[in-house]
Amino acid sequence: MHVLTPVTIVALLVTLVLLFSFKGDTILSNPLTILWIAIPLFLQTVLIFALGYAMAKVLRLSYQDAAPAAMIGASNHFEVAIATATMLFGLSSGAALATVVGVLIEVPVMLMLVKVCLNTQGWFGSRHPIG
């Protein structure tokens, strides 16, 4: 496993570079299409995070359990989506475009949700305060 870890990271980065290079013109020439893909992805990620975080509060989980559980639930696992889309439909497909937009959306949204977690950690019981 230790040998494969760097290989998988490099393969994912190469795939992302290829996807962005193939889809760069489409992204720049069709901003409205990108917006139509991005809005539902944003809403889905935030909604699933909110549901997971609220359920963790109802279940009285500690912050150390609640925050990662909500973040993992909200994650779209685009590395799997990229692999699936490119293998099934090819790098020039609409599915590949959606995965590229997904990567562009997921990173800043997840960073925003990390900030939400840090700002609300006092809502939960805590074994050890973070911050």
pLDDT, one tens digit per residue, over 45-86 is 999 999 999 999 999 999 999 999 999 999 888 778 877 888
Closest CA to 56 of 111, 128, 126: 126
What pLDDT score does 128 carry? 55
Q: Which tokens is 81 given?
A: 């989506």
User: From residue 67, how far is each of 45, 51, 72 by CA, in Å?
Assistant: 14, 12, 9
Residues 51 and 74: their CA atoms lie apart, in Å, by 9
Q: Which residue has the higher pLDDT, 112 or 12?
A: 112
SS3 category, 3: coil
Share of the chain above pLDDT 70, in %: 93
pLDDT at 76: 80
Q: Judge contact between 97 and 84, C-beta under 8 A.
A: no
